[in-house]
Amino acid sequence: METNLLVFDVGSTYTKVAGFHMAGNQLCLAGRAQASTTVDDIERGIAAAKQNLATTGVAIADEPQIFSTSSAAGGLRMVALGYMPRVTAKAAKEVAMSAGARVLEIISSEDLPEYRLQVLMEIQPDIILLAGGTDGGDRDSVISNARIIVQARGKAVVILAGNKEAQAEAAEILAEAGIGHIRVPNVMPTIHELKVKPAREAIHEQFIRQITRAKGLHKLIDIVSNRKVTPTPGAVLMGAELLAKGTYVQDGVGDVLVVDIGGATTDIHSVLPELENLTIEEKGLVVTNEKQPSYRTVEGNLGLRISATGIVETVGPAGVLAKLGRKSEEEATELTEYVAWLEKNPEHISTSDRDKSFDLALAASAIEVALKRHAGYISQEFNPVMGIVPGTPIGRDLRRVTHVIAVGGIFTHSSAADRQFILEQAFKNPGISLLPQEPRFIMDKDYLMFAVGALSQQYPDAALRFAKQQFGLLAGGEK
């Protein structure tokens, strides 16, 4: 049986490929492989990964369908501008994060115009998400920020996603200055609603244009069948959304939490479908992230290689070693020296027992911190102004989530016992955090969540059925 569908993930270091046989609406995994990414000529790395797949015994069709995700361009550098920092500026950030962009700064109209200009000139973002004002609300912030963008004289493309009544004037200001822009529906048309999808799709389109300009990566667009390349974090979230929410034909599995740890970051994605059914009263006066069906956070200083020192700086050497049940000062010194060395040698693959144990403890520590920053917590004090008493749940409530999917190289290459150890340690002490009370750990040991997300747009039913089978989540009667 020939493999007639290939999904690539082109990373900064490795290009991964998953091969599938697609027959009708059935998707079967044939195998997976990887090769070093060759950014100077992307085709060589893709060809090498494909060849490595073939050497595992997978027969590949002469002209397979090809899909791809990528993080090789480093992700879109984005600045989000809004009106009020706790409302539309925050909404702009949520949209950018869900699309897989790197949000470097959030600016609101409370910031001085001189400061906003300085940020844009110093960061020189690839893209600016210009939000602000609900429909029929504030117009001035979108227009004044458009003028500041013109003053900055950057090369960023602007996604106009603010008050629809201000968009035409803002677009005219940008057009007269020769600044590329895209108009999409307001990300926050009312204070009770966050409209993510149109802005997210526009961000993905800009990602495609960016990698087209990047050295060597322009050929990737010509290789893929649908001429789309999704940012890898965005694809993982899309896969989680498909699995949680389902399609018109199939039910989803309900709440899903995805833990994705890499060499530079630890990403947490949570999809809580029941939040789509909240009434305006239940959403509260202003919509917030804990009320969004899909939510992603990124800890840029918590990674197993490039950002390993960030883990030790956050929890301390003793905190990391406690995951292993150890506390010697000599090992604390060794750990500190090890993570400093990793930053300079991010390609390191651990082979010694000492390095492997350090990696397990670092992973558990990074995931624990990232989870507690993503989730809400139980209030410990009175706040009469907000009507909060001790014991009140505040923020995103993950306590009823059961499906926890673990993604990342350490889960792909570690033993089943080590994978289980990492997650058990990370979830062991929730404290006041609103973490899952009875989590079921599901290992993406074949690294396929990116492929599920990449296929979710064109083959949603086949991708969902495959994901359920792959992760052991088929309901009774499903095949």
DSSP assignment, residue 133?
A: S
**For 363-417, how does the pLDDT look when each residue is reduced to its tens digit (9 = 90+)?**
999 999 999 999 998 887 776 655 666 777 788 999 999 999 999 999 999 999 9
The answer to whether residue 353 scores a pLDDT higher than 60 is yes
Which residues are CB-contacts of 37 (< 8 A; sequence separation ≥ 6)?
10, 11, 12, 13, 14, 15, 45, 72
In this prediction, what percent of the chain has a pLDDT beyond 70?
91
Give whole-number Cα distances, 337 to 183, 285, 331, 334, 429, in Å: 50, 49, 10, 5, 27
- Site of tokens 């007639």: 4
Q: What is the pLDDT of residue 246?
A: 96
pLDDT, the chain, mean: 88
Closest CA to 280 of 361, 197, 190, 341: 190
**Residue with the larger pLDDT of the pair 214 and 349:** 349
Instruction: Go through the domains of the chain in sequence order and give each one's CATH number.
Output: 1-72+214-227 (3.30.420.40), 77-208 (3.40.50.360), 231-461 (3.30.420)
Q: What is the pLDDT of residue 383?
A: 67
If pLDDT is split at 50, 70 and 90, which confidence band does 442 have?
A: very high
Average pLDDT of the residues in 226-244: 91
User: Please, are residues 434 and 404 in contact by the beta-carbon 8 Å criterion?
Assistant: no
- Output the DSSP codes for 220-282: HHHHSTTS-EEEHHHHHHHHHHHHHHB-SSSB--S-EEEEEE-SS-EEEEEE-GGGGG--HHH
Amino acid occupying residue 29: L
Average pLDDT of the residues in 98-109: 77
Closest CA to 256 of 100, 436, 427: 436
The answer to whether residue 479 scores a pLDDT higher than 70 is no
Q: Of the given ranges (14-23, 136-145, 207-216), which has the lowest mean pLDDT?
A: 207-216
Assessment of whether the complete model's pTM goes beyond 0.75:
yes
Pairing verdict, β 60-70 and 14-23: unpaired
**Residue with the larger pLDDT of the pair 389 and 258:** 258
Helix or strand run (H / E) with residue 43: helix 42-55
What CA–CA distance (Å, rounded) separates 301 from 287?
28
Q: What is the pLDDT of residue 327?
A: 87
User: Please, are residues 239 and 449 in contact by the beta-carbon 8 Å criterion?
Assistant: yes
What CA–CA distance (Å, rounded) separates 263 from 410?
10
**Cα-Cα end-to-end distance for the chain:** 20
User: Please, are residues 158 and 183 in contact by the beta-carbon 8 Å criterion?
Assistant: no
- Site of tokens 């109209």: 109
If pLDDT is split at 50, 70 and 90, which confidence band does 288 have?
A: low
**Residue with the larger pLDDT of the pair 17 and 91:** 17
Helix 197-213 and helix 232-245, axial crossing angle in degrees, nearest 10:
150
**Residue with the larger pLDDT of the pair 376 and 280:** 376
Closest CA to 80 of 63, 102, 60: 102
